[in-house]
Amino acid sequence: MREFLASIHYGAWVLPALLLIPLAGALIIVLQSAFSRDDSSLAAAPSARWIALITFLLEFAVSLGMWWAFDPGTVAWQFRVTHWWIPAWGASFDVGVDGISLFMVLLTTFLMPLSVLGGWTSVREKVRSYYALLLILTTGMIGVFLALDLLFFYVMWEVMLIPMYFIIGIWGGERRIYASIKFFIYTFLGSLLMLVAILYLWLHSVDTVTLSNSFSYDTIMQHAAFTSRAALWLFGAFFLAFAVKVPMFPFHTWLPDAHTEAPTAGSVILAGIMLKMGTYGFLRFALPLFPGAALTPWVRDTILTLAVIGIIYGALVAMVQPDFKRLVAYSSVSHLGFVMLGIYALTLQSVQGALMVMINHGISTGALFLLIGMIYERKHTRLIDAYGGIARVVPMFAVVLTLVSLSSIGLPGTNGFVGEFLVLVGSFKTHPWFTLFATSGVIFAACYLLWAIQRILFNKLDKPENALLRDLNARELVIVAVVTVAILWIGIYPAPVLRRMERSAQNFVQVVTSSPGARLASAPETGGSR
Amino acid sequence: MPNGFVYEFLFYLFGLTAIVSAAIFVTRRNAVAAALWLVNTMFCLAALYIMMDAQFVGAIQVLVYAGAIMVVFLFVVMLLNLGLPPSVADIKSKGARIIALVAGLAMLAELLVLARQKLPAELPWLPRETSVTTPITEPLFRTYLLPFEITSVLLLVAIVGAVVLAKRRS
Amino acid sequence: MHPLAGSIAELVWLLPILPLIGFVINGAISLFTSFHAGPADPSAAHGEHDVAHAGHEAPDTHDEHAAPKRAPLHAIVTIVGPLVLLLAFGLGVAIFVAMPSHMATPFVKTFFAWMPVGTDLPIHWAFQVDQLSVMMVLFVTGVSALIHIFSVGYMGDDPGYARYFAFLNLFVAFMLVLVLGASYPVMFVGWEGVGLVSYLLIGFWFNDKANADAGTKAFIVNRIGDFGFLIAMFLIWSNVGTLDFSGVAAGVGSLPAGGPLLTTICLFMLLACTGKSAQIPLYVWLPDAMAGPTPVSALIHAATMVTAGVYLVARSSFLFSLSPVACLTVAVIGAVTALFAATIGLKQWDIKKLLAYSTVSKIGYMFIGVGVGAYVAGLFHVITHSFFKALLFLGAGSVIFGMHAAYHHTHSTEDAQDMRNMGGLRAYMPLTFVMMWIATLAISGIPIFAGFFSKDEILGSVIARAADSTLADVHWLGIPGSAVLYAVYVLALAGAFLTALYMTRMMLYTFHGPNRTGVEEQAHLHEAPPLLTFPVVVLGVLSVLGGIINLPAFLHLPAGWTGALDQWLAPVVGDATLHVTHGVAAETPHEVALVGLAIVVAIAGIVTAFVKLKPAALVPKRDAQPATGFERVLENKYYVDELYDRTVVTPVVAVSRSFLWKGIDAGLIDGVLVNGSAWFMRGLARSGSWLQTGQVGAYAWAIVIGVLAVLGAFTLR
Amino acid sequence: MVPEALFFSAILFVIGVVGVLTRRNAIIIFMCVELMLNAVNLSFIGFSRLYGASGQVFVIFVMSVAAAEAAVGLAIIIAIFRHHETVDLKNINLLKGWCSNCPWPNRVECIRLPAPSPSWCGCCRYCR
């Protein structure tokens, strides 16, 4: 397989291709709508759905090649492509992949076809623009994960934001306007501060070759010079932008609204991929660029406390939610609290655990949202109390919902456990007390999900209309099969995934812990020898 | 012509009449009377201009300002038959007037405080044989040529605007 | 080259895989049948029928429609279920036979890397074959096979038949993973797996809220135990550096013996055990677990799963033996639970609840055994207990099966599990009656039966260690170790007396005295079908002969017979046991007297029951008056459930709903910060618009004020 | 004689300001503005005595601007007069930003219609 990929110079064109395929798909849909006069309701434009699905499957196939072509041995950027974008400013189209971003991209391309297949019949009107927006959104997301140029990263960050705003705003639930505006302003506020920080960095980093300021990640890592006070402010700016996205405890209130009001595909993407932007940001930008600021005791302790509060608070509030989607949304707050704990514990196990939780959360919460979408299409209500005792009526749905919930709780043998165990084992070495409280989150996770499942699947079948629910049809069975395989495979044999991310995680820990002081004295940075 | 006594006397005469007529203009309830008092102020000012060696501007003042603009004003007043004073006085309540006076006096005080600077000596008078317009030509057509052109455009726009606004909707 | 390297032991991975295959086949069949039954599933329409058997044992719906579904699929499930177990048992026996008698080092078979992170945390899927794990494998697969056969008869016409066998097979698979795991994480997979399956099986008839609640409660309480297990694992890894049993056994020497660290590790592990084996703080789920089918209670909540805690302590004997304080805690918890559960058992009317509390009490004994360092005694009691407790449950199952059939024929809605509706069944179920008496004598500790040997060995070891051991030297919460151990002995004896009492009470009320089921029902009361009685008989035999596994020394039998289990388990737990008793084999001072005392206590329990209780005076449940005073407290199990509910569950839910969600989330963050700032901006804009009055005069004034300000600034400059 | 000229200019300017602030008739206000402009011209001429003829050039520009302004201003006043039949600025508040609950199509307000209720918010027909 590797020879075949090398023969077609896979490394040279794969990343730009990953960015362009969705755009091409979107273009086709838009052009197609330009020629046909009729309105774009579902009946009139079935092709839009199929174009989107085929594009996403093609995208997944192309990205799957990276799984084999990726060389786990080195730390350097792989499949790197660099072209001048705005030479005057020193901004370039610079994309590359390493152990951390590889799986984020694979997760994105894995979840997109599932979310389109999942939301197959949920969107009825303005179908063409819906699928075009989804495609553009994918480019934005993959762009964020691949960007090695800060300006390109920021542009992709905004490109990702706008389609999601429309997806929630137009095709959402009842309070969609409120939710989408809140989502947009929350994220936009954070990212503006980040832009200021990026510009500050740009000013203070001179490219040795072109002797001008440059946005490139490596130059900034090596040559950016700023005082420790400035580093603190810069870290604060980056922290705010990413904390909103993670979402960490005080900045999380946009998440339940955005999730409950988003259509099925929207909430799958929101939970599965967009929440990882925040943690990816910490892993790529916030910590490596300002290790000194990040590791000042009071900063580290506040972040860790926020993470642990997030875990317990998310779980407790999830327990009492009447709406199942809000419950899963709050559970995401809890899961990503684990990721932040893992990142900040800075041991190899905890960082790899954090990456695993990011992947597993994407799969299991994405699957949960798909399942909620399926039951929502049948009964058009997300309230837990509207259901009861439907396990006998829809047995296949019941089995899968139980399995996915168990993976979300972190039952050993499923993928949830691998991530959580590594995070907790790793962070126990450096922060035992924080981990002690975080582990209690494992109990609350069992409480809220099992209680919800019991109220939905088991108990008395007292509502007669529930007895007429149809079980999963063929399309849904395909999704469910794919998700189950993913859950069990990563649960039982995660070694290849862990092996690929090990070198990058090791390098991340080494960069952040080894040189908090050096970054400030504007001496060339030793660690980041990408 | 040195600043003889006659010159100063006339200067003060015209100045004071201008101020008095302006004061009366402000207090007239009848629009036409007010307009005429304003014309009188403008004539006194024209006189002052001439006495300050700005003969061309004085002529323009009389010609354009008093002659053209005030005539238009009177014309509009006549058109809207505002001649007879309106039933309800259009002067604001006593309280408002007092506040306005206070604000005016405050402004006057500030202006006078600002005016206490030392002014340079006056320029020599123009020699008799030079024509009245020569001093203006150099600045008008060389340094300030662009503003001069722009004012022509401005006037064109004003004309068009006035016609469009005032035209009766068909 | 390990002696077992080339042998049958290589196939050890097949042990859990076989039941797993059973699970997959049965699961597929169950999904296939219910998937094609379509939404209008006939049994769903019988909603109202369920109400009749509120919450209690009811092989769901004996509706007539079940008969036609006895298609070939039903037969496949009947064959696959028990067959897979018998194969596993056969493989276990083969491995047992292949094992050399004195295998010093365990045979660790590593398959593939599970979570290889860096060099310092290599977690692999690895199974460990040594004397302890083989012993557990044999008794788990053996008892499970018997119970599977029993279930074929018992659950025969339940619509969820395939699903039931799928879960039962899955349980055995996870139990084998737990027992065979070579490192703590792999064991943890089995540990939580059995928790999951017990959740699925307790809530098997999930259409009834009580059953579903019991299932969820069991899982969450187990999960609290698992929290302890996780923390113990983290402590071990961060201090010892590895999580494999052999690695930890070697590395534990570096830690300060008896130090605070070791004690904390062992206490967290104890928390895990109390969760899984239903000891004092976390036992509340076991009585509610009786909501599941009886064979499930027999298998999971009597014989196998609940002994996982004892297995964990035995497997980590190298840790526990080094921290005497933790060992004493284990012993004390075991003793207190034994007595506490026995007292509750006195006044229970539901036959399954009574057996549940008897299980909690008996596991207390096992904890005393492993707590005081007599690991072999504890494990011996595990085996014998699984025999007679499984027998008791299956016997009770046959009784309930008969009662239910009777009530079903007369369509009465009486409670098939309440002893007050039974009585005098001796005449109708002679075989079950004899077998139950064997089990009762065994559990009470009457000589020739299995219970006597294992319980006596535990009591003897308590006294031996009270006299001279590392436990006696150390102080537990200020009380000297020996005093604590003597107190444990007294509690154990009291527990033994009460056990004899309530078991005989059960026998009297169920089998002796007049029959209270009802005249027309008596016609339908008859012995359970052969499928049910066969396992009961086998277990009966085992309950009688179980003792020979580890005959005590004072019987002066020929060399080969005494202490077979001691020699068998010596390589695994031998040195830990010796460490606790200062390196010298413990012998109990004046042992024969103590044994005599134990026998006297047991017989006294039975005699008092016969004397005090008058089964004739009993009245059926429907017209029984509510109990009063202390009796009511016992019947309501000291109101522990209500206490937990009021102190933990309700406050947490109330706080998180009113304070965390409404208060902080909706109120503080959303209300004040997010919407608050939006409202503030609106207010600002509205007040700004007030200035735009539209009057030209106002604007003039604004300009004048501006000019005044500017000129003022100039004048002041 | 320039200081006196500046003094006269200041007084005339202040009279113009007071006139603007006290009168309500649009045309009178307009004339006061013209008076203020003349005051400024006077000070320009005064300074032209000191700094050269460019002051006079500015006077010319001021005059042209004043002319343009007068033309447009009077046109506006006529347009208002035609619609409202009054030039009293008290009633004309077209510049006002409408209060938020006025539906857009009804915003054009005509004061000739009697006020619907004493608590009329004055900005449009359809308030409280």
Q: What is the pLDDT of residues A108-128, one digit of tens each?
A: 999 999 999 988 888 888 888
Q: Write out the H or E segment, with its range, that includes residue C479.
A: strand C479-480
The total number of residues shown for chain D amounts to 128
What's phi and psi for D25, nearest 5 deg?
-80, 130
How many CB atoms neighbour CB A1 within 10 A? Answer: 9
B113 vs C697, C708, C715: nearest CB = C715
Q: Are strands C121-129 and A91-97 parallel, antiparallel or unpaired?
A: unpaired
Rg of chain D (C-alpha set)? 20
CA atoms within 13 A on the CB side of A414: 22
Interface membership of D32 toward C (CB under 8 Å): no
Residue with tokens 């980040």: A194
Q: How far apart are the first and last CA of chain B?
A: 61
Rg of chain B (C-alpha set)? 20
Whether residue A189 is predicted with pLDDT greater than 70 in this model: the reply is: yes
Q: Residue C697: its chain B contacts at CB < 8 A? A: 92
Rg of chain A (C-alpha set)? 22
d(CA C242, CA A78): 34
- Taking an 8 Å cut-off on Cβ atoms, the answer to whether D95 and C700 are in contact is no
What ranges do the domains of chain B cover? 1-86, 130-170
Q: Residue B113: its chain C contacts at CB < 8 A? A: 715
Whether residue C62 is predicted with pLDDT greater than 50 in this model: the reply is: no
Interface membership of A474 toward C (CB under 8 Å): no
- What pLDDT is stored for residue C448 in this prediction? 83
CA atoms within 13 A on the CB side of C21: 13
C714 vs B92, B103, B114: nearest CB = B114
What's phi and psi for C475, nearest 5 deg?
-100, 135
What's phi and psi for C330, nearest 5 deg?
-60, -45
What ranges do the domains of chain D cover? 2-84, 95-128
pLDDT tens digits, A290-341? 888 888 999 999 999 999 999 999 999 999 889 999 999 999 999 999 999 9
| Interface contacts B/D by beta carbons within 8 Å | 233
d(CA A519, CA A290): 7
Whether residue C66 is predicted with pLDDT greater than 60 in this model: the reply is: no
Q: DSSP for D3-63?
A: HHHHHHHHHHHHHHHHHHHHB-BHHHHHHHHHHHHHHHHHHHHHHHHHH-THHHHHHHHHH
Q: List b or e across A101-123, with b for residues whose CB sees 16 or more CB atoms inside 10 angstroms.
A: bbbbbbbbbbbbbbbbbbbbebb
- Taking an 8 Å cut-off on Cβ atoms, the answer to whether C697 and D89 are in contact is yes
For residue C208, give every residue at least 6 positions away whose Cβ sits within 8 Å of its Cβ, in sequence order, or none: A460, C50, C54, C55, C291
CB contacts under 8 A, B 63-92 vs D, are: 64-65, 68-70, 72-73, 76-77, 79-80, 82, 86, 88, 90-92
C343-C345-C348 Cα angle (round to 5): 125
Tell me the mean pLDDT in the region C230-246.
90
What is the reported pTM?
A: 0.83
Q: In this structure, what token pair is assigned to residue A333?
A: 């707050």
Mutate to test the interface with C, among A175, A311, A461 (most CBs of C within 10 A): A461
Q: Are strands A91-97 and A78-86 parallel, antiparallel or unpaired?
A: antiparallel
Q: Is residue A247 reached through a cis peptide bond, with omega within 30 degrees of 0 on the bond before it? A: yes
- What pLDDT is stored for residue C446 in this prediction? 87
pLDDT tens digits, B33-86? 899 999 999 999 999 999 988 889 999 999 999 999 999 999 988 888 776 666
Distance from CA of C691 to the nearest CA of D (A): 9
The total number of residues shown for chain C amounts to 717
Distance from CA of B66 to the nearest CA of D (A): 10
The neighbouring-strand residues paired with A92 are A84
Residue with tokens 């032209």: D48
Q: Which 3 state secondary structure label does DSSP give A215?
A: coil
- Name the most confidently modeled range: A55-59, A86-90, C524-528: A55-59
More confident residue, A187 or B123: A187
d(CA C435, CA C543): 10
- What pLDDT is stored for residue D16 in this prediction? 94
d(CA C259, CA C254): 11
- What pLDDT is stored for residue C63 in this prediction? 38
For residue B149, give every residue at least 6 positions away whose Cβ sits within 8 Å of its Cβ, in sequence order, or none: none
The neighbouring-strand residues paired with A94 are A82
Provide residues of C within 8 Å CB-CB of chain D.
Answer: 686, 689, 692-697, 699-701, 704
Confidence category of residue C452, pLDDT binned at 50, 70, 90 = confident
- Sign of the CA dihedral with A394 first, then A395, A397, and A398 last: positive
Q: What does each C-alpha distance from A513 to A352, A506, C170, C608 come to in angstroms?
A: 16, 11, 45, 72
Q: Residue C705: its chain B contacts at CB < 8 A? A: 103
Confidence category of residue B89, pLDDT binned at 50, 70, 90 = low
d(CA A335, CA A325): 15
- Taking an 8 Å cut-off on Cβ atoms, the answer to whether C700 and D20 are in contact is yes
d(CA B112, CA D10): 8
Touching chains, C (3+ CB pairs < 8 A): A, B, D
Confidence category of residue C45, pLDDT binned at 50, 70, 90 = very low
The neighbouring-strand residues paired with A82 are A94
Confidence category of residue D114, pLDDT binned at 50, 70, 90 = low
How is residue B66 annotated by DSSP?
Answer: I
B107 vs C697, C708, C714: nearest CB = C708
How is residue A383 annotated by DSSP?
Answer: B
CB contacts under 8 A, D 53-112 vs C, are: 89-90, 92-97, 99-100
Q: Which 3 state secondary structure label does DSSP give C111?
A: strand
Determine contact, residues D50/B119, Cβ cutoff 8 Å. yes
- What pLDDT is stored for residue C38 in this prediction? 52
More confident residue, C515 or C83: C83
Q: In this structure, what token pair is assigned to residue D51?
A: 């700094």
More confident residue, C60 or A98: A98
For residue B104, give every residue at least 6 positions away whose Cβ sits within 8 Å of its Cβ, in sequence order, or none: D14, D15, D17, D18, D21
- CATH classification (class only), B1-86: mainly alpha
- What pLDDT is stored for residue C103 in this prediction? 80
How is residue C658 annotated by DSSP?
Answer: I
CATH 1.10.287.3510 fits D2-84, yes or no: yes
- Taking an 8 Å cut-off on Cβ atoms, the answer to whether B107 and C707 are in contact is yes
Q: Residue A493: its chain C contacts at CB < 8 A? A: 112, 114
Whether residue D111 is predicted with pLDDT greater than 50 in this model: the reply is: no
d(CA D68, CA A89): 48
- Taking an 8 Å cut-off on Cβ atoms, the answer to whether B11 and D16 are in contact is no
Q: What does each C-alpha distance from C188 to A84, A410, C156, C536 come to in angstroms?
A: 53, 12, 33, 32
Interface present between B and A (3 or more CB pairs within 8 Å) = no
- Taking an 8 Å cut-off on Cβ atoms, the answer to whether D123 and C697 are in contact is no
Q: DSSP for A266-288?
A: HHHHIIIIIHHHHHHHIIIIIHH
Determine contact, residues A358/A279, Cβ cutoff 8 Å. yes
- Taking an 8 Å cut-off on Cβ atoms, the answer to whether C696 and D96 are in contact is no
For residue C580, give every residue at least 6 positions away whose Cβ sits within 8 Å of its Cβ, in sequence order, or none: C321, C324, C327, C372, C373, C465, C469, C470, C471
Q: Residue A429: its chain C contacts at CB < 8 A? A: 238
- What pLDDT is stored for residue B83 in this prediction? 65
- What pLDDT is stored for residue C673 in this prediction? 81
Tell me the mean pLDDT in the region A466-494.
90
Percent of chain A with pLDDT over 90: 53
Percent of chain D with pLDDT over 90: 42
Q: Which 3 state secondary structure label does DSSP give C81?
A: helix
Q: In this structure, what token pair is assigned to residue D104?
A: 């857009």
Whether residue C220 is predicted with pLDDT greater than 70 in this model: the reply is: yes
Residue with tokens 């409950």: A260
Q: Residue A411: its chain C contacts at CB < 8 A? A: 192-193, 196
Q: Whose CA is closest to A108, among A140, A153, A71? A: A140
Mutate to test the interface with B, among C704, C705, C717 (most CBs of B within 10 A): C704
Q: In this structure, what token pair is assigned to residue C83?
A: 């067959």
Residue with tokens 């527990």: C495
CA-nearest residue to C210 within chain A is: A459
Mutate to test the interface with C, among B110, B111, B117 (most CBs of C within 10 A): B110
Q: What does each C-alpha distance from A274 to A164, A172, A183, C488 come to in angstroms?
A: 10, 17, 12, 58
d(CA C44, CA C32): 17
The total number of residues shown for chain B amounts to 170
pLDDT tens digits, C240-279? 888 889 888 888 888 887 788 899 999 999 999 998 988 8
- Residue A414 backbone class (left: φ over 0; alpha: ψ -120 to 50; beta: rest): beta
Q: How far is CA B132 from the centre of its chain?
A: 21
Distance from CA of B129 to the nearest CA of D (A): 17
Q: Residue C45: its chain A contacts at CB < 8 A? A: 467
Rg of chain C (C-alpha set)? 31
What's phi and psi for C309, nearest 5 deg?
-60, -45
